Structure 1
């Protein structure tokens, strides 16, 4: 897997390390990002994605004309 280098403010890196309980900023950011992605996947699994909009469309039958 390819690696990416990102610069962060030291205060932000320390906050992430404390929140994630990690000893290095890189591990902390990786844990936070992985958690964020997993939450997104769980939400999509529960609610569907934007392509599922047809399921919630108003499907009431239009009144028949001529009656």
Structure 2
């Protein structure tokens, strides 16, 4: 896997480490980004993609939640 170097403000790195519960700023940023991307995919799968042309309000749920 390719590696990318990103420069962050020290306070931002510390906040990311505290939020993710890690002791390494690189691990913290990676965990937060992975979570952010996974959350976006979950939201998209529930609401649909804007490119599909069908508004989310017009869709009927496929399964009941709860």
TM-score by length of 1: 0.78
Supply the RMSD in Å over aligned alpha carbons. Answer: 0.8
Q: Which runs of 5+ in 1 are unaligned?
A: 57-67
- For the pair shown, the structure with the greater C-alpha radius of gyration is 1
Runs (4 or more) in structure 1 with deviation over 4 Å come to none
Unpaired segments of 5 or more residues in structure 2?
56-66
Q: How many residues end up aligned between the 2 structures?
A: 55
TM-score (norm 2): 0.79
